[in-house]
Amino acid sequence: MATSDWGYKRVDGTCYENMDLQDHDESRFSMLFEVSPNLMCTLDSGGIITDINKRALDYIGYTEDEIIGRSCFDFIEPSYKKVALDGFAQMQKTGVGPLIEILLIKKDGAKFYGMCSGARLGKKEPPEYIIAIQDISRLYDTLKKQKRARFG
């Protein structure tokens, strides 16, 4: 069975199973976490933020002290919380979360649409999860402009 550099092994040609983070280079993972263009964070089994990358902090306007230890759901617009909670429950059950659209709230109150995905990190207990969010607000703006141009 082939194993990737990122701690996953091919199970049946399409599915991947998490391996323990200790089985690969944690410093490489840390570097990718920090330099990712995505907003990245890690969560405990209750959805509490345990780590967050600088890109996310800069983008949403909070300091690390203001974020670490808070629920990830505190930063999601209330009408999107059920979708986020359902996605988190699926990730806890299967190890991989669905790709979901959420509306997030920055410290200054501004909101942005994000495409969110996540997965369990390794097999450690208690479990820990990694979340990646990409801002898709520009895509929404482009679609709105196209719709206006097309339909008036």
Strands (E), 46-108: 49-52, 100-105
Q: Do 116 and 99 meet the contact criterion of CB atoms below 8 Å apart?
A: yes
Read off the pTM. 0.76
Nearest Cα neighbor of 26 from 41, 5, 45, 49 is 5
pLDDT tens per residue, range 95-147 = 999 999 999 999 999 999 999 999 998 888 899 999 999 999 888 778 888 88
pLDDT tens per residue, range 63-105 = 999 999 999 999 999 999 999 999 999 999 999 999 999 999 9
